Chains A and B, each alone.
Chain A
Amino acid sequence: EAGVAQSPRYKIIEKRQSVAFWCNPISGHATLYWYQQILGQGPKLLIQFQNNGVVDDSQLPKDRFSAERLKGVDSTLKIQPAKLEDSAVYLCASSSPTTYTGELFFGEGSRLTVL
């Protein structure tokens, strides 16, 4: 079974530039999460999708961050314009509510450095 795929693994940009991250969850997983993990901190939920609908985006900085999951499968997280404090690892995770075992499956993350 293929795991959660994320790309790119690393990205370096200057502040005020834009960046996009892509995530493909495990096949059949209806729930998809984007987390932000700043160095030395735990993952913070940015947005949660159930199929192509948003369940929770209360901690997403909507003035600069956007995310979509148009067909209920893969997802894109965009930051525009980036700030220095956006330097972090962006983690994508998925789970299957129909066969819920309490586990989130994570990708390897996309590390963003904003200069």
Chain B
Amino acid sequence: AQSVTQLDSQVPVFEEAPVELRCNYSSSVSVYLFWYVQYPNQGLQLLLKYLSGSTLVESINGFEAEFNKSQTSFHLRKPSVHISDTAEYFCAVSRNTGNQFYFGTGTSLTVIP
């Protein structure tokens, strides 16, 4: 079975500062990895994903995550955050057959002006 651990439930950070949201997973099979974002009063949206190939993946709004198989991690980073990045971030894993997504408990990112 797969599981996902997000080590930080809340992360406050000042605007334009860097941020890292941590995610570790456990799985006995090959997996796909995802970060979803949930803005206030909205549904979850895909931020970025790792399916195969390059272990460093990027989103269109400056976030990146690196798949580290040896450390079973998929941490999310951004070098300079904006107020608009304030949201809940969820790490998720699925088996590479495409079924059975498992979500972490989420990290609430608050960007302070």
Which A residues are within 8 Å of any B CB, using their own CB? 4, 31, 33, 35, 40-45, 48, 55-56, 91, 93, 95, 97, 100-104, 106-109
B101 near A104 with CB under 8 A, answer yes
B94 contact from A102, A107, A109, Cβ within 8 A? A102
User: What total of A-B pairs shows CB separation below 8 Å?
Assistant: 57
Interface string of B31-45 (1 = CB under 8 A from A): 010101000011111
Known A91-B43, A106-B44: A42·B100 in contact at CB below 8 Å: no
Which segment of B11-19, B60-68, B69-77, B102-110 sits at the interface? B102-110
B contact set with A: CB distance below 8 Å = 4, 6, 9, 32, 34, 36, 41-46, 49, 51, 90, 94, 98-106
State whether A40 touches B105 (Cβ < 8 A): yes
B43 touches A102 (CB 8 A): no
Q: Give 10 pairs: A residue, B residue, CB < 8 Å, sorted on A.
A: A42-B4, A48-B99, A56-B100, A91-B44, A95-B98, A97-B98, A102-B34, A102-B94, A103-B34, A106-B44
Asked if B105 and A48 sit within 8 Å, CB to CB, the answer is no
Q: Which of A93, A103, A108 contacts B42 (CB 8 A)?
A: A108
CB-nearest residue of chain B to A103: B46
- B44 surroundings in chain A (CB, below 8 A): 43, 91, 93, 104, 106
A43 nearest in chain B by CB position: B103
CA of A104 to CA of B32, assembled, Å:
12
Alpha-carbon distance A45/B94, docked complex (angstroms): 12
Q: For A93, what are the chain B residues with a Cβ–Cβ distance below 8 Å? A: 44
Which B residues are in CB contact (< 8 Å) with A103? 34, 46, 49
Whole-angstrom CA separation of A96 from B72 in the bound complex? 27
User: A42: which B residues are within 8 A, CB to CB?
Assistant: 4, 6, 90, 103-106
